[in-house]
């Protein structure tokens, strides 16, 4: 079932087209990623979806509602965490949650929500004294306090350290598991690959592709590379005789084998047959960054 439908969306600013004929659909219960470089039009797109900006053309439906004309009803089904959002420095965690809960006729229990996002111990901490990861957790809680069907999360993990980022990813997965559809705006390839069921790649205000992470990667050359340091000398001919192998190259004491299919298994089996151990084995495959490069001609990050 479609919970969001965007058709031919346009948004122009003076001297700049931010969103140029963007279309996509989001199914209920999925994590839908909007992935692209900074300045690609991602935030403007979701601001139009959330009713925070008026598009110059096209249509948007969220749970059957038009954000331009049914904002009050939209407010009851859509929760938003924006990259630019900030709270007063002195407001405490519990005060922010209590305040936001007062905006809704039937809010979630903010005390339970505070526990759920891991902020119970920070209940009386001022916003200014929260770490980056704690602020993001509070942002997620504020987006959920109205019991939304859909949550829009914009650049949720920008500026976080690796551990805080992974903790936030786990929180996003828990939110989806609770039945909330999520639109996740990001420019982090690893984040999109980890979390998203489907992704819209956006570049220069246009959608260049919509697919699963695996589907997008499959559009790129499916060649793989296996790199290792052999425990004993290995003849290139041994590897080139394998049907999966296209090329063998060397750099110092490392060997790199390029090919397709079940390349790693074939190479390691052939080496084992000659009592050669592939130390420091690394398997490299195409990524979303490679897919973005193939589709747009430039790197995502």
Share of the chain above pLDDT 70, in %: 98
Rg (CA), the chain: 23
- The answer to whether 244 touches 266, Cβ cutoff 8 Å, is yes
pLDDT tens-digit readout, 210-230:
999 989 988 776 678 999 999
Residue 81 has pLDDT above 80, yes or no: yes
Considering only CA atoms, which of 123, 145, 119 is closest in space to residue 133?
Answer: 119
With a CB cutoff of 8 Å and minimum separation 6, the contacts of 32 are: 4, 24, 26, 181, 182, 183, 184, 196, 197, 198, 199, 200
pLDDT above 90 covers a percentage of the chain that reads 70
CA-to-CA distance for 33 and 203, rounded, in angstroms?
14
pLDDT at 222: 67
pLDDT: is 38 or 129 the higher one? 129
Lowest mean pLDDT among 19-23, 30-34, 35-39, 217-221: 217-221
Mean pLDDT of 284-298: 84
Residue with token string 């425990």: 231
Mean pLDDT across the stretch 100-119?
A: 91
Please state, in angstroms and rounded to a whole number, the distance separating the CA atoms of residues 166 and 241.
Answer: 42
The angle that helices 132-144 and 162-177 make with each other, rounded to 10 degrees, is: 10
Residues 97-108: tens digit of each pLDDT: 999 999 998 899
Residue-wise pLDDT tens digits, 191-205: 999 999 999 999 999
pLDDT at res. 48: 95
The 10s digit of each residue's pLDDT in 159-179 is 888 888 888 899 899 999 999
Q: What is the pLDDT of residue 224?
A: 86
**Residue 84 confidence (pLDDT):** 63
DSSP secondary structure string, 223-258?
-EEEEEEESS---HHHHHTSTTEEEEEEETTEEEEE
**C-alpha dihedral sign at 6, 145, 118, 181:** negative
What's the maximum distance between 2 C-alpha atoms anywhere in the chain?
Answer: 73
Strands 254-259 and 224-230: antiparallel
**Average pLDDT along the chain:** 91
46 vs 150: CA distance, rounded Å: 12
CA-nearest of 63, 235, 37 to 147 is 63
pLDDT in tens, 229-256: 999 999 999 999 999 999 999 999 999 9
Examine the pLDDT at 17 and tell me if it is beyond 90.
yes
pLDDT above 70 for 301:
no
pLDDT of residue 158: 83
């Amino acid at each position: 079932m479609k919970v969001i439908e965007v058709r031919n969306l346009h948004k122009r600013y003076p001297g700049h087209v931010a969103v140029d004929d963007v279309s996509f659909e989001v199914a209920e219960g999925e994590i839908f990623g909007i992935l692209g470089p900074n300045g690609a039009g991602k935030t403007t797109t979701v601001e139009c979806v959330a009713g925070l900006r008026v598009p110059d053309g096209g249509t948007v439906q969220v749970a059957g509602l038009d954000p331009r004309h049914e904002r009050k009803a939209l407010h009851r089904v859509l929760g938003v965490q924006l990259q630019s959002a900030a709270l007063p420095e002195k407001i405490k965690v519990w005060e922010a949650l209590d305040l936001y809960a007062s905006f809704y006729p039937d809010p979630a229990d903010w005390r339970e929500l505070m526990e759920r996002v891991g902020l119970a111990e920070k209940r009386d901490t001022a916003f200014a004294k929260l770490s980056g990861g704690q602020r993001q957790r509070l942002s997620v809680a504020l987006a959920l306090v109205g019991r939304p069907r859909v949550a829009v999360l914009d650049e949720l993990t920008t500026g976080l350290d690796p551990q805080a980022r992974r903790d936030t990813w786990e929180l996003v997965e828990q939110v989806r598991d609770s039945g909330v559809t999520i639109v996740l705006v990001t420019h982090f390839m690893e984040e999109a690959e980890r979390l998203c069921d489907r992704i819209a790649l956006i570049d220069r205000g246009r959608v260049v592709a919509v697919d699963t992470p695996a589907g997008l990667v499959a559009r790129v050359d499916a060649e793989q590379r296996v790199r290792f340091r052999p425990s004993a000398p290995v003849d290139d001919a041994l590897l080139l005789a394998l049907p999966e192998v296209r090329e063998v190259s060397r750099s110092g004491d490392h060997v790199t084998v390029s090919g397709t299919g079940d390349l790693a298994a074939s190479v390691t089996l052939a080496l084992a047959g000659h009592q050669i151990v592939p130390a420091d084995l690394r398997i490299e495959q195409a990524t979303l960054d490679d897919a973005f490069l193939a589709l747009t001609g430039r790197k995502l990050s």
